[in-house]
Amino acid sequence: MMYRKSNILSLFVLSVFLAAGSFAQRELGAKPTKTGGPLVFEQAAFDVESYELSFNVIPDQKKLEGHAVMTAKIVIPTNVIILDLDTPYKVLRVSDGSKSLQYEREESRIKIFFPQTKQVGEKIKTSVWYEGVPRIAPNPPWVGGFMWTKTPSGADWISIAMQNDGADLLFPVKDHPSDKPDKVTMDITVPDPLFAVGPGKLEKTRQNANNTTTFTWRMTHPIPNYSILFDAAPYRVIKDSVKSITGEMIPIEFYILPESFENGQKLIDETKKYNAFYEKYLGPFPFRSQKLGIVETPHLGMEHSTHLAYGNKFRYNEDGYDWLQLHEFGHEWWANLVTATDWRDFWIHEGFQSYMDSLYLEHLGKKDKYMEAMRRTASRTRNKQPVAPREQKFSYEVYLAGPDFVSSDGDIYGKGAVILHTLRYLIGDDAFFRSLRRMAYPTKEMETYTDGRQTRLVNTDDLLNIAETESGMKLDWFFELYLRQPELPKLVSNINGGQIELHWDTPNNMPFPMPIDIVVGNGKPIRFSANNQKQTYIVSCSECPPISIDPNGWVLKSH
Ligand SMILES: [Zn+2]
């Protein structure tokens, strides 16, 4: 998901969208519902294996009829489990696939009771029939729900966004990032001539007697819950392919509105360039046995695994690329291949991706623009809450800020990216880029997997351990200061002629042996080992040239 800039900018974005006639009802102050957070016992007790979902979509009533079958394995003995399902839905029946099961509907939860306690390792199956008028997205994609909108030609254009709210906006789910199903099958029935697009591969389509068609999509890789959704419109499809660094061909499918068709191939060609960039730094496109999928959406965009939501209207920036597509596509690595176990580590998605967004400039041979982007981002950090808190969090608690959680925090994006930039300076390019690659694929062997075993769940300590191994340096002090508490270190410097005194002033005097560049005149940067104690560096000069500290902006510090 791209960063939701301040409300002022949202107003500007809104005016663009209004001009483009996509949305009328955007509520800028809307707050997401809860997703993730502390894991309750009745959800920790089972490990989801698959969801088989059937949706009957009724646009003229803005209604959904659903049937959701979950299979899971018991990991803690229990006779009760809980699934999350948004309040607008009425539960009609619950069974174990054959016999009815007792259940209680509590707000946005379904408590399901089994006649006996299920033992560790036992498989369970729940089948839930439900229907309702889904929540309308007040400010998509940031505050989610359904979008029942129209294409420029007036046809139905149905879309869903639910990262900050949870997949319970669409179906009964164990709504926690720590549990990705290994497989998902989705039967989506929509009125003709709509085409419904989902994750994975299109297995079949069935023409029904009542002028509807059922599209069956099947994803055979672990997938984050918020990517388990569909978009529908009178889509046309552009098919292409690109060779991966593994030598395998990656199938590309772009589901695009007829009105945008002539713009499609250029975005695909651009995406091939982005793929080459990501594969160079992070290893092969992870879902090459499924598809590199793009779907044109009425909202700005989202990293829906193997069916990326694209709503940037084919705009290219001054450097000739589409920042939104570059960003969302990169999340196939940082979010879908490597997924945060809890929203407290959300920065692993957005901070890593924001770093790649700027690194792309260096990849284009514009290192100065990369450095400029890092300096600009560093000057905008909020430093109000830790980028990676240790306690479990609902996603909006990390994504949004302030007592009312309405305005964006954004530090998981920008500050996260600059922390990686500073880590690069500290440990050096070789160790840093090896660490990025190993964070994406811990072993070379995993780069060869195409059955889902290449995906994994991580937290911030995974990066700490990898970077320490790759650099041979102790780095816990760096992670403690930059990620586990909000304040920035302050560099206290005193330059008197050729005498330079430097030390780091840190919250609670946290240890911070962070080197910093000193540049004398136009000389080469001198790496000075500053720390919490005052250190002096002498430049032997009578007419001393100007002396600057970290002029390139490698080290994130209070501004
Ligand atoms: Zn993002």
- The arithmetic mean of pLDDT across residues 208-231, rounded, is 98
Q: What distance in angstroms lies between residue 235's CA and the mean position of ligand 1's atoms?
A: 25
Confidence bin at 410 (pLDDT 50/70/90): confident
CA distance 322 to 324: 6
Stretch among 94-108, 142-156, 185-199, 531-545 having the lowest mean pLDDT = 531-545
Determine the distance separating the centroid of ligand 1 and the alpha carbon of 324, expressed in angstroms. Answer: 9
Question: 121: CA distance to ligand 1 center in Å?
Answer: 36
Q: 14-18, 195-199, 367-371: lowest mean pLDDT where?
A: 14-18
CA 349 to ligand 1 center in whole angstroms: 7
Choose between 400 and 415: higher pLDDT: 415
Q: Calculate the CA 559 to chain-centre distance.
A: 28
Q: Looking at residue 17, what is its pLDDT?
A: 46
- CB pairs under 8 A, 24+ apart, for 432-439? 432/467, 432/470, 432/471, 433/281, 434/470, 435/463, 435/466, 435/467, 435/470, 435/471, 436/281, 436/282, 436/352, 437/281, 437/282, 437/283, 438/466, 438/470, 439/338, 439/352, 439/463, 439/466
Question: Under CATH, to which class is 1-31+235-486 assigned?
Answer: mainly alpha
Which pLDDT does position 557 carry in this prediction? 98
Query: What per-residue confidence (pLDDT) applies to 430?
Result: 98
> Ligand 1 centre from 101 Cα, in Å?
40
**Identity of the highest mean pLDDT range in 387-401, 405-419, 460-474:** 460-474
Cα(11) to ligand 1 centroid in Å equals 20
pLDDT for 487 equals 98
Residue 7 has pLDDT above 90, yes or no: no
**Cα 465 to middle of ligand 1, angstroms:** 24
| CA 416 / ligand 1 centre spacing (Å) | 12
Quote the longest CA-to-CA distance of the chain.
92
Q: How far is the CA of 529 from the centre of ligand 1 (A)?
A: 35
Distance 513 CA to ligand 1 centre (A): 32
How many angstroms separate the alpha carbon of residue 534 from the centre of ligand 1?
40
Centroid of ligand 1 to alpha carbon of 247 (angstroms)? 28
* Average pLDDT along the chain: 94
End-to-end CA distance of the chain: 27
Better pLDDT: 3 or 57:
57
Contact 54, 67 (CB under 8 A): yes
Q: How far is the CA of 1 from the centre of ligand 1 (A)?
A: 3
pLDDT, tens digit, 9 for 90 and up, residues 414-464 = 999 999 999 999 999 999 999 999 999 999 999 999 999 999 999 999 999
Using CA atoms, how far apart are residues 395 and 45, in angstroms rounded to an integer? 22
Kindly give, in sequence order, each residue whose CB lies less than 8 Å from that of residue 148, ignoring residues fewer than 6 positions away: 59, 62, 136, 156, 158
Q: Tell how far the Cα of 399 is from the centroid of ligand 1, in angstroms.
A: 11
State yes or no: pLDDT of 136 exceeds 50.
yes
pLDDT at 169 over 50: yes
The pLDDT value given to residue 301: 97
Predicted model pTM: 0.95
Say how far residue 48 (Cα) sits from the centre of its chain. Answer: 21
Q: Which run of H or of E encompasses 49?
A: strand 46-58
Ligand 1 centroid to Cα of residue 520, in Å, is 39
pLDDT tens per residue across span 139-166: 999 999 999 999 999 999 999 999 999 9
pLDDT at 30: 81
CA distances from 240 to 252, 256, 264, 359, 361 (A): 5, 14, 11, 27, 26
Residue 16's pLDDT band, with cuts at 50, 70 and 90, is very low
How far, in Å, from the CA of 347 to the mean position of ligand 1?
9
Residue among 297, 262, 353 nearest 144 (CA):
297
Neighbours of 402 (CB within 10 A): 12
**Among 12-16, 24-28, 202-206, 393-397, where is mean pLDDT lowest?**
12-16
Average of per-residue pLDDT across 376-400: 93
Q: According to DSSP H, which parts of 311-366 are helical? A: 323-330, 347-363
Rounded to the nearest angstrom, the distance between the alpha carbon of 141 and the centre of ligand 1 is 11
- Tokens at 249, concatenated: 């061909």
Q: Please report, for the chain, the start and end positions of each structural domain, with discontinuous segments joined by +.
A: 1-31+235-486, 490-549
Ligand 1 centroid–CA 552 distance in Å is: 26
How far away, in angstroms, is 42 Cα from ligand 1 center? 31
- Could you tell me the two tokens for 132? 């309702």
The torsion angles phi and psi of 501, rounded to 5 degrees, stand at -105, 130
**301 alpha carbon to ligand 1 midpoint, in Å?**
9
User: What spacing in Å lies between the alpha carbon of 285 and ligand 1's midpoint?
Assistant: 17
3-state secondary structure 368-426: HHHHHHHHHHHCCCCCCCCCCCCCCCEHHHHHEECCCCCEECCCCCHHHHHHHHHHHHH
Statement: residue 329 has pLDDT above 60: yes
The 10s digit of each residue's pLDDT in 220-253 is 999 999 999 999 999 999 999 999 999 999 999 9
Share of the chain above pLDDT 70, in %: 94
Which whole number is the average pLDDT over 188-214? 98
Q: pLDDT tens digits, residue range 492-534? A: 999 988 899 999 999 999 999 999 999 999 899 999 999 999 9
536 pLDDT above the threshold of 90: no
Q: How far is the CA of 326 from the centre of ligand 1 (A)?
A: 10
CA 551 to ligand 1 center in whole angstroms? 29
For residue 404, is pLDDT > 60?
yes
